[in-house]
Amino acid sequence: MIFLLSCHHHKWKWPAIQQGWLKSCGLPYVIVVGNEQLPPKSHHYDPVSHVLELGCMDNYDGLVYKIAYGINAVIERFNPDFVIKVDDDIILIPSRLRVVLAKIDPVKTIYAGNSIEITKPEISISGMDKYTLPENKQPVMIEPVVYCGGPIYYLGKRAMEILQTDLIPQHIKFEDVNVGLTLNRRGIRPHHLPFYTDYHPNFMKEGWVAWHDTMREHSQNIKPASHVFRNIGMPLFGSKPN
């Protein structure tokens, strides 16, 4: 199952994503967003739109809550063998994803993605400008951890079950680090799979599954890089509303 992490503010992206790489993947999927009008930790799922609304914030402050509550909701409603968490600023090649998934042993591979290791405690200011809550605008001390980079990663059934019981959103605000820390404590380290790159020339040349649009060339319509995708038969993101 694809776990597409998004927000209502990015709703304009969904049609192109759904008709593009999501449709070509052929996997069931949910579009995960927050809705503070729902009771905390609750969820509402629309099977027509595939939108899974969670009782939490729908901004950057809510990311780790979307993971915690979203995993609970997905297990309760679908009980999938795995989820691939994907951010909505990812461009993905379905054929490459199928190749990677075919090589995954679901018994041996519990958690996989671009492996990142923090070997000693360090202070991180990552994303501080994107947060709205004052407490999230402060630097964070991150303990040693091996985790998967946040744009896209794989969680097998065992990983989901652990996160369902053990993931504490308040422990650390960075969702990918929190997932890694939670699984590391249960003896699970990520299996390294080079899922994504932040640099699109490498994306085309080196066979990555996905490109993480760090320049926001598509989502902000600054410089639509149509030449990058001309030969792979996928639509770009839709036009951003004014």
Identify the helix (H) or strand (E) that includes residue 114: strand 111-118
Task: Kindly report the pTM of this predicted structure.
Answer: 0.88
What distance, in Å, lies between the first and last C-alpha atoms of the chain? Answer: 33
Domain 2-229 annotated CATH 3.30.1950.10: no
Spatial distance between the Cα atoms of 105 and 88, rounded to a whole number of angstroms: 27
Q: What are the pLDDT digits (tens) for 129-188?
A: 899 999 999 999 999 999 999 999 999 999 999 999 999 999 999 999 999 999 999 999
Q: How many helices (H) and strands (E) does the chain have?
A: 8, 13
pLDDT at 240: 60
Instruction: List the chain residues with pLDDT less than 70.
Output: 214-242
pLDDT at 78: 98
pLDDT at 132: 93
pLDDT at 194: 85
Q: For residue 94, which phi and psi values (nearest 5 degrees)?
A: -55, -40
CB 6 within 8 A of CB 31: yes
pLDDT at 227: 35
Q: Which residue has the tokens 């915690």?
A: 68
Spatial distance between the Cα atoms of 58 and 236, rounded to a whole number of angstroms: 24
